[in-house]
Structure 1
């Protein structure tokens, strides 16, 4: 598969089949992820793979909690929240055979001094985000689907995910990626803005 094809075919997949993701496939995803650029060459990322039934259920429930919190934050009416909750818990939205939580270790840094705290943090998150994109493109090549979950960053939920991964407070959760084979045909959405709207040549 050519890179351009993988980029164009990548889409956010929210419904997955029950077919397992193999250990070799998981390793291939992480191997692709760690080939991403990393600020100052620190490689201060960590990929926690939740694969057991017990761990997956806990992560899935936390995603559900986060989605409800998100819906309420954007003032969605309770009846609509109930419909969305049904899609999650009854229809299995975001239920996947594997979840990969991507963390950065804030204790590993290049520039010393509190005045560099913010920029070091930004660089680390950017590095992890590029790793996530590599992982997602590799998933396309392997016939797998992924979706980025950001609602696990709500403070109480982020803490619970970190505890499940057995990590201390130095670690910050950048995102959780459900991984599996798509239940339905994948149809990438068109972008809302065209190239001329988002590009400025100076």
Structure 2
């Protein structure tokens, strides 16, 4: 598969088959992830793979909790929240055979001093984000679907994910990635703005 094809086929997948994802595929995904650029060569990322039925159910419940909090934060109606619950609990939206939580260790840094706290943190998150993109593109090559979940970062939910992962408060959760075989036909959506609209050449 050519890189252009993987980039253009990648899309957010919200419904998955129950087919397990092999340990070999998970290893290949993380192997691709850690080839990403990493600020100052620190490689201060950790990938926690939730595969057991018990762990996956707990992560799923936290995602559902975060999605509902998100809907309320953007002032969506109770009717829409009920539709969300139906899609999740009855139709299985976001229920996947594998959840990968991506953390950074805030203690691992290159520049010391309070004045560098913010850039060091941003660089670490950017490194993890690039790793996530590598992982997602590798998933396309393997015939797998993925979606990035950010609502697990909400206060309280992020702590519960960390505790489930056995990770302490020195770590920051960049996001949870769902992985599995897409259910049904999945078509990438066109971007609202084209290259010319988002590019400035000076």
Looking at structure 1, the residues matched to 57 and 28 of structure 2 have their Cα atoms a distance apart, in angstroms, of 24
Cross-structure match for 1:142 = 142
Q: Secondary structure at the match of 1:54?
A: helix
Is 1:128 aligned to 2:136, yes or no?
no
Q: 1:182 aligns to what SS in structure 2?
A: coil
**TM-score normalized by the length of structure 1:** 0.99
Report what 2:45 is aligned to. Answer: 45
d(CA) in 2 for partners of 1:10, 1:175: 18
Q: Which runs of 5+ in 1 are unaligned?
A: none
Name the counterpart of 1:93: 93
Q: Bigger CA drift: 121-130 or 80-89?
A: 80-89
Partner of 1:103: 103
- Please list the CA deviations of residues 103-148 of structure 1 after superposition, one character each: whole Å capped at 9, or x if unmatched: 0000100000011000000000000000000000000000000000
Q: CA deviation at 1:184?
A: 1.1
Once superposed, what is the RMSD of the aligned Cα atoms?
0.4
CA shift at 1:37, angstroms?
A: 0.1
Deviations 1:15-62 (A, max 9, x none): 000000000000000000000000000000000000000000000000
> Per-residue deviation at 1:85?
1.1
Deviation at 1:186, TM superposition (A): 1.5
Deviation at residue 185 of structure 1 after TM alignment? 1.2
Runs of 4+ in 1 over 6 A off after TM superposition: none
1:26 aligns with 2:26: yes
Whether 1:56 and 2:56 are equivalent positions in the alignment is: yes
Residues 73-110 of structure 1: CA distance to partner in whole angstroms, max 9, x if unpaired? 00000111101111011100000000000000001000
Query: How many residues align structurally?
Result: 202
CA distance in 1, matches of 2:89, 2:198: 37
